[in-house]
Amino acid sequence: MTAINNPRARVCVPVCARRADELRAAIERAAPLADVIELRLDCLDTDAQLDDALRRLPALLRARTRPFVLTFRPAGQGGRRELDAATRLDFWTRRLRPLFDDASARPDFVDLELDLVSDPRRREELLRIFDSTTLIVSRHDFAGVPADLEKIYTDATSVPRAVTKLAFHAADATDCLPPLRLLERARRDGREMIAVAMGEAGLLTRVLAPSRGAFLTYGSPDDEHATAPGQISAEDLRAIYRIDSISGRTMIAGLVGSPVAHSVSPHMHNAAFAAVGVDAVYLPFEVRDAREFARRMAHPLTRELDWNLRGFSVTAPHKGAIIETLDFVEESAREIGAVNTVVVEGSGLRGYNTDAPASLAPLEGLIDLVGARVAVLGAGGAARALLRSLRASGALATVFARDASRAHALAERFGAASERIAGARFAGFDAVVNATPLGTRGARESETPATADQLRGVRVAYDLVYNPSETRFMREARGAGCESVVGGLSMLVAQAAAQFELWTGEPAPTEVMRDAAQRRLK
């Protein structure tokens, strides 16, 4: 088997060029990021481009500075061309055959789909051709976790001297359990294996698999050229997730929610871990059912994965549902009815709410909260956390919402007044806080809970939304002449800093976290 003399986690960077004359430049861009380079020959637009690439391949292989994998994958297996078995066999046994007559131009690996080696006679022919090259025998499933996964593993590992690659789509973080279990089985069987859960929910396999024995993991050359769903860049694998330093001892933390792929929390926490020198990594966990995640992946008494999970953040829509899975919930979190931070401690899970104390951080130094009149727009979880903190600070809060009965019930719970938001005027309020999701990047980015006309006469306008950094609510407030207009970044950093301290026992490097969040938001 081809040796890769690299103590780091092996990251394979795919090159997917449409034209043969683009291959050399694409390889040169990939090389600084890669331990292995995969040439995706199925990406070439036409047969003419493929012929041209085959003429160029010997020179490219002789000049390589990294091991090469050659791949010619059909569309049904994630490739870019419609290729039946006969076409693929002709490619491997005839068209590529001249490469193997010259040892200096021989590829290090070839990736063959499992169906090509399922027939024993065909398998023997291919093994003879590639007797001095390592085979990767692969199977890709884009519909989800195959029901016959164990049989697929057995069939793939029956090919001698081959690396087994199994990749399938994950809809939930719990779908990452089968590939991680297969890695454990492959280690016991003495087999080399690549196990990947594709899609945004599968990210943790791309980051953690090398530390759990995977032969390699895949990272794209940049954010624009991923060759599989959920594939992140090789640069992010190394710079953000520090994949080269992850081991079985590494502390794991993460973000439980849906969706989570575009959260800035991994950027903040991983930068903080690096700055303080903590052996830890923070991952996004795409989760549909918080109870199942807690049972199967988090709780020390029931989880199906042996990992050093220290805790996790919780975001929408799971802040309320997670409570029933916890062994302890702090009083403020129980009163608010929302947990945004879980700590794994001993044999149980402990829940906290760091949103509440952090929610007032952006107002510090702008107004004296004792006796201040504060309008809270919205009646959801963010409003509950804010209202508890306002009550503790001595502020006089009023809840404004479209649903008057919901606003009244929430206000009564936290000793506040309530009003209907339609037609409201906020002149005379010291601060108006947007605690709704209106203005968040995405489908509702152009919306605002209050206009400039409503906000005239307000001293401070504060938006809990942090992405984008300048929301429509903030623009309306500037147009209204508010003295101070602030976004939610300071709250985001403050609540994350409190989480960091709960998990590590170390003071959080807040400026490092703020800088990381700002870089990501830009």
- Residue 506 forms part of a structural domain: no
Lowest model confidence (mean pLDDT) among 80-89, 100-109, 503-512: 100-109
Q: Which residues contact 75 (CB under 8 A, 6 or more apart)?
A: 81, 82, 83
Q: Residue 444, SS3?
A: coil
Cα 510 from Cα 367, distance rounded (Å): 22
Both ends of the chain: CA-CA distance in Å? 44
Number of domains observed in the structure of the chain: 3
Let me know whether 329 and 385 are in one domain: no
Let me know whether 37 and 108 are in one domain: yes
Let me know whether 216 and 264 are in one domain: no
Let me know whether 334 and 402 are in one domain: no
Residue after which a domain boundary falls, among 246, 265, 295: 246
Let me know whether 233 and 375 are in one domain: no
Q: How many CB atoms lie within 10 A of CB 372?
A: 20
Dump pLDDT digits (tens) for 412-426. 999 999 999 999 999
Catalytic residue IDs: 319
Let me know whether 365 and 258 are in one domain: no
* CATH number, domain containing residue 144: 3.20.20.70
CA 504, 509, 513, 514 torsion-angle sign = positive
Let me know whether 192 and 229 are in one domain: yes
Cα 441 from Cα 439, distance rounded (Å): 6
- Residue 149 forms part of a structural domain: yes
* CATH number, domain containing residue 394: 3.40.50.720
Peptide bond into 259 cis (omega under 30): yes
- Residue 507 forms part of a structural domain: no
> What pLDDT, on the 0 to 100 scale, is given for residue 3?
38
Smallest Cα–Cα separation from 376: which of 462, 475, 482, 480? 462
Dump pLDDT digits (tens) for 332-371. 999 999 999 999 999 999 999 999 999 999 998 899 999 9
- Residue 135 forms part of a structural domain: yes
Dump pLDDT digits (tens) for 464-502. 999 999 999 999 999 999 999 999 999 999 999 999 999
> What pLDDT, on the 0 to 100 scale, is given for residue 262?
85
Average pLDDT for the chain:
94
Let me know whether 193 and 223 are in one domain: yes
Three-class HEC string of 445-486: CCCCCCCHHHHCCCCEEEECCCCCCCCHHHHHHHHHCCCEEE
Dump pLDDT digits (tens) for 244-274. 999 999 999 999 999 998 899 999 999 999 9
pLDDT at residue 7 tops 60:
no
Let me know whether 313 and 405 are in one domain: no
Tell me the residue range of the domain where 37 lies.
11-246
